[in-house]
Chains A and B, each alone.
Chain A
Amino acid sequence: MRHLLLASALLASPALAQTSQGDVAVTIYNDNLALVQDTRQLAIGAQRSRIEFPDVSGQIRPETVTLSGEGLGIVEQNFDFDLLSPQKLMEKAVGQQVTLVRTNPANGAETRERATVLAVNGGVVLRIGDRIEVLRDDSLPVRVIFDKVPENLRARPTLSVTVESERSGTRPVRLSYLTPGLGWKADYVTLFDEKAGRIDVQGWITLTNTTGTTFSNADTLLVAGQVQQQNQGYSRGYRPPRPNNIRKPGIESADRERLGDFYLYPLKERTTIANQQTKQVSFLDVVGAPGRKAYEYDNAWLGTMDEAQSANTVLKFSTSKDQGLGDALPAGIVRVYMRDARGNAQFIGENSIGHTPMGSELGLKTGEAFDVKVQPVVEKRERLSPSKWRTSMRYTLTNARPEAVTVDLVQSGLDFYWDDTRIVSESMKSERRSSDETQWHVPVPANGSATVTAVFETRF
């Protein structure tokens, strides 16, 4: 009987990748979460029977499983994660009989005998007939053959459902569940032509699968936006929040499928999302949108820098229909390239964006400029009264480039989160952006320098 079973098992498992999955549809959210719907054709007997679902996500959240099929009622649902291993196999064999095959080291002859496993604590203690032995105590080869594998030991975590069926027969059964381990983000390739003031942008959806399971030929839908999730006890790993770099949020609607607040990105074709795979599919291709470069420097407090600091190089562009990319952008990383003297695209920096509505103004710091620098220096600090200080700042801006530039120079940290600060005097008019920040637009001549001075009155 066992031989027969084995032979049929062999027939059923040819050496090629095969899956028990049926018609798979996955809906993937940004935040490491996916909804899997798997419709399988299953032969179910009448009345009560147990169905196993191999090839579900290795990280399935079993409490989110729903199963539906014609004429099926669910009795109970189990998720077994006691994994089969030699140690487990031996432990579960305590009190049971196994077969020992001893090999004679001199002539290779095999002798078989039955043994009862008495205990598995550090070593294996056996009863063979009326003798008690420790397995392989003499280091001689002994094969241990188990008659069966205990039912609840699994090669991989397995979902099983006991159902009550009105009739017997094959029918489609739809299994749906949530799983972490599938996620997506966008990646943008931006080629910046500085002279022309244009950018070419290609957007790619990047899917990653770390569920431990391959989803074959899946109908895939991506949802841009974060859905509220309860803390699941598993560690999603801390990632510092990324800036969204939106200077002005847009108010236009993109010509994309939507569901409620979310934009939907269906993949045009079915695809196989392999385990441990990074997959990219194109979703955006814009040529010649306006883009320009700006220099920014933010001095975070009224302090001195001992050496001149590079100003940030910022790429500014819009996502509006008329003046920009004309689309809503799902969150991701924008990598910026520029052509070198030989015309090859070279990487000049990257930054992240959040989910960006159409019509937004974006400002991405791509890097720090080699040739444009700012040195803030506290020239003088005087105490006027116990709660009044006067700080004289001098900012020296230098430009080693052969063309004039304008640096947006920001002094922040002005309200100390508490007390507002007064600007007593300044060498050029600044724009007070908030109680905390003031900004100068400083023209710096080609291969030259510029100086801004300002006197602040503070409480501390």
Chain B
Amino acid sequence: MARVSRLPVLAAIIVAMLGASADAQAIASSAGPQSVSVTVYRDPNRTAERAMNLGWLNGYALVSEVRTIDIPAGEADIRFEGVAGGIIPESAIVTGLPDGVVEKNQDAYLLSPASLLDRSLGKRVHLRRTSRATGAVTEQDAIIRTGADGAVVLQTEAGFEALRCSGLPETIVYDQVPPDLSAKPTLSVRTRSRAATRATVTLSYLATGFDWQANYVATLNPAGDHVDLFAWVTLANGDETGFANANTQTVAGKPNRESDPPRLGRGGGELSLQCWPQGTTSDIEADTTTPVEMMPPAPAPMAEAMDIVVTSARSKAVGGMQAVQEELGDLKLYRIPEPVTVAANAQKQVALLEKSGVAVQTFYRATISPWMGDEPFRATRILKTRNRTQEGLGLPLPAGGVVLFAANRGRPLLIGEGSVGDKAIGEDVEIEIGDAPGLFVRATRTDVVGDVANYRLVVTNDQPRPVRFDAEFNGIDTASIGDGKGVRLGRRNGRPLWSVIVPANGSATLAYRIKNDN
């Protein structure tokens, strides 16, 4: 490879460069942590009903890394490489530097084709061309005169040229990587040390792109009055950085989060070169008469190749790993007892709890309001318990999804899925598990007398056993409900409640009136 027209000034430039870089302050790099701790927090705006979307994780994590760094005497830049890409730089805390921190910096630019070009503006590079016919390589010096958004104009000895508009195989060759561009997201700290020393430094920061939730698996016994409950901690890392052998925790409860300031750009990455209009004679028809060809729809955003790892096999085997709950102020912390690897773009599950024989009730509920139509609709199936030791629970339950199975001749049958919010000890727990297939509710207006409308509420049950049904009246004044036959209504959350046992393959009826107050 002959460098054809290298100018003789090159040697002088290299000398100048070396001289200059000796002046720059020392750089101590740390490629990765020795030990790391990751605490995953939930997306504060995701309700329990919404499952995590692995392609769009809006929770966050507190990452604490311990690194051993050789610190030179005097002023030095200490570069922490391999931090999470979603780092919130202003949240970074560095402790353990012997003489403190002068300043902390995070540069959003990563080394990429676009940032290389951008940093080389006005600088000398080499333009390399390879002949397709002979394979001969020619290289000449050039100065990048502009490179904004990939519109590259170069100055060569011959004059001004645009990069890759000629149809020739040509590329820019750079002498060196600008010193402040790094391959991975990097946080740097400027320190001033009295003496060269080896220090154990802890770096903590918040990073976006994580989330977790609980996942409950409940198996209903044949009698329908108890469930065996098993739960996972399901945590996901959507970041490009993985954490090997990390002490891993998750936090339930709702820490307040402020909106983050807009992230600084990463300095692009991809470089798409722009040229002058390249239309040719053969393009003319396409340009004027043919409508623009429609782009095929973009594929749905997918979580890119997420790994899904289940750490502890779901079994009652002794020695399985289970997260341990601790108090953290008004939050609940779940510690995974052994270090685990929280890989990049991966979901991990660890057992959270296992409780057998939790007492539950199954019943059906419908909300009746004056403004609904008279179409029959399905009642909602509800699994209810109370978070107490008497019921077989009595421990904080973090929010998550619930899958309900029924034991059926040795083969579990999926009944439905629901969700539960954060439930403290002692709270009622009600989980809506979809609509009942055969329990229909119909409210029909029978007649109107003056400002009073008479209604009839009928519930039908297609099951060969009696079921409990609750009708909750919303927006209907208590004073105006009653069938005149002395049916006693209960109350729930301040609203009238009609609770009734619907007989097997039968129906139940309530007559009620709504008085128009206005």
Contact of A89 among B141, B162, B478 (CB under 8 A): B162
Interface segment among A9-17, A222-230, A317-325: the answer is: A9-17
Q: Which residues of chain A are near B21, meaning CB under 8 Å?
A: 16
* 59-73 of chain A: CB within 8 A of chain B: none
Counting chain B CB atoms within 10 Å of each CB, which of A124, A142, A143, A372 scores highest? A143
Tell me which of A36-44, A163-171, A186-194 binds B: A186-194
State A262–B439 Cα separation when bound (angstroms): 69
Tell me whether A239 and B280 are in contact (CB under 8 A). no
Residues of B within 8 A of A269 (CB): 102
A278-B106, A371-B330 given; A10·B204 CB < 8 A: no
CA of A141 to CA of B103, assembled, Å? 52
Stretch at the interface among A21-29, A172-180, A347-355, A408-416: A347-355
A residues near B103, Cβ cutoff 8 Å: 271, 279-281
**A86-B162 CB under 8 A given contacts A106-B133, A278-B90, A367-B253:** yes
Contacting residues, chain A, for B166 (C-beta < 8 A) = 101, 141-144
Quick one: given A13-B143, A86-B165, are A7 and B255 in contact (CB under 8 Å)?
no
Task: State the Cβ distance, A367 to closest chain B Cβ, in Å.
Answer: 4
Which residues of B141-172 are within 8 A (CB) of A?
141, 143, 145-149, 151-153, 155-163, 165-168
Residue interface mask A269-305, B partner, CB < 8 A = 1: 1010011111111100000000001000000000011
A window 92-148: CB within 8 A of B:
99, 101, 103-108, 120-124, 134, 136-137, 139-148
Additional 15 contacts, C-beta under 8 A, given A123-B283, A347-B251, A371-B396: A15-B17, A86-B151, A87-B274, A89-B276, A90-B277, A108-B136, A123-B278, A149-B145, A155-B145, A185-B261, A240-B259, A278-B108, A347-B41, A347-B255, A348-B328
- Most B Cβ at <10 Å: residue of A15, A99, A276, A340: A15
Chain B residue numbers with a CB within 8 Å of A151 are: none
Contact string against A for B residues 97-122, beta-carbon threshold 8 Å, 1 for contact and 0 otherwise: 00011111111110000000001111
1/0 contact string of B308-329 vs chain A (CB within 8 Å) = 0000000000000000001111
Question: Is A377's beta carbon under 8 Å from chain B?
Answer: yes
Residue among B121, B131, B175 with max Cβ neighbours from chain A (10 Å): B131
Are B124 and A15 in contact, CB atoms less than 8 angstroms apart?
yes
Closest residue of B by beta carbon distance from A157:
B148
A14-B17, A15-B175 are contacts. A370–B332 as well, Cβ < 8 Å?
A: yes
Q: Contact check, B261 vs A208: say whether CB atoms are below 8 A apart.
A: yes
Given A86-B275, A89-B276, A349-B257, A394:B494 Cβ within 8 A? yes
A17 to chain B, nearest CB (A): 7
Closest to A282 in B: B101
Of the candidates A155, A307, A365, A381, which one forms a contact with B421 in the assembled complex, judged by CB atoms under 8 Å apart?
Answer: A307
Query: Given A136-B280, A208-B264, are A239 and B259 neighbors across the interface (CB < 8 Å)?
Result: yes
Which residues on B sit within 8 Å (CB–CB) of A277?
Answer: 105-108, 264
Q: Which of A137, A348, A447 contacts B426 (CB 8 A)?
A: A447
Q: A276, B277: Cβ atoms under 8 Å?
A: no
A360 at the binding interface (Cβ < 8 Å): no
**Interface range on chain A (Cβ under 8 Å from partner):** 35 or more
Q: Which residue of A lies closest to B178 (CB)?
A: A17
Report chain A residues within 8 Å CB of B276.
86-87, 89-91, 120, 124
Name the distance in Å between A5's Cβ and chain B's nearest Cβ.
10
B45 interface contact, C-beta 8 A: no
- Chain A nearest CB: distance from B380 CB in Å? 13
The answer on a CB contact under 8 Å between B278 and A155 is no
B-side interface residues toward A, CB under 8 Å? Answer: 7, 9, 12-13, 16-17, 20-21, 37, 39, 41, 62, 64, 89-93, 100-109, 119-124, 131-134, 136, 141, 143, 145-149, 151-153, 155-163, 165-168, 175-176, 178-180, 204, 206, 249, 251-259, 261-262, 264-265, 267, 274-283, 287, 326-333, 335, 396, 421-422, 424-427, 477-479, 491, 493-495, 517
> A123-B283, A366-B255 are known contacts. Are A279 and B105 too (CB-CB below 8 A)?
yes
Please tell me if the beta carbons of B146 and A155 are within 8 angstroms of each other in the complex. Answer: yes
Cβ contact within 8 Å between B264 and A370: no
A310 at the interface (CB under 8 A from B): yes
Least distance between A299 CB and chain B CB atoms (Å): 13
27 examples of A-B residue contacts, CB within 8 angstroms: A7-B9, A11-B13, A86-B275, A106-B133, A107-B133, A123-B279, A134-B280, A136-B278, A141-B168, A144-B162, A146-B159, A192-B329, A242-B258, A275-B109, A279-B103, A279-B105, A306-B493, A341-B327, A346-B39, A346-B328, A347-B206, A347-B251, A348-B255, A367-B253, A375-B493, A398-B424, A447-B426
| A379, CB-defined interface residue at 8 Å | yes
Contact in complex: A340, B280 (CB < 8 Å)? no
Interface contact B133-A105, CB-CB below 8 Å? yes
**In the complex, what's the smallest C-beta–C-beta distance from A322 to chain B, in angstroms?**
27
Query: A14 to B158, Cβ gap below 8 A?
Result: no
Determine whether the beta carbon of B256 is less than 8 Å from that of A349. yes
Residues of A within 8 A of B160 (CB): 89, 145-149
Q: Are A366 and B9 in contact (CB under 8 A)?
A: no
Chain A residues near B136 (CB-CB < 8 A): 108
CB <8 Å contact, B333 and A346: yes
| A309-352 to B contact mask, C-beta < 8 Å, 1/0 | 01001000000000000000000010100101100111111111
A residues lining the B interface (CB < 8 Å): 2-3, 6-7, 9-11, 13-17, 83-91, 99, 101, 103-108, 120-124, 134, 136-137, 139-149, 154-156, 185, 187, 189, 192, 194, 202, 204, 206, 208, 210, 237, 239-240, 242, 269, 271, 274-282, 293, 304-308, 310, 313, 333, 335, 338, 340-341, 344-352, 365-373, 375, 377-383, 394, 398, 400, 447, 449
A14 B102 Cβ-Cβ under 8 A: no
In the bound complex, CA of A149 to CA of B165 (Å): 17
A173 to chain B, nearest CB (A): 21
Question: Measured between C-beta atoms, what is the minimum distance from A343 to chain B in Å?
Answer: 12
B16, B123, B133, B204: the one contacting A345 at CB < 8 Å is B204
A348-B329, A370-B330 known; A400+B425 contact, CB < 8 A: yes
Report yes or no: A15 in contact with B146, Cβ–Cβ below 8 A. Answer: no
Smallest distance from the beta carbon of A316 to chain B beta carbons, Å? 14
- A348 nearest CB across to chain B (Å): 5
Contact of A372 with B141 in the complex, beta carbons under 8 Å: no
Cα(A202)–Cα(B91), bound, Å: 12
- The distance in angstroms between the C-alpha atoms of A138 and B162, with both chains bound, is 19
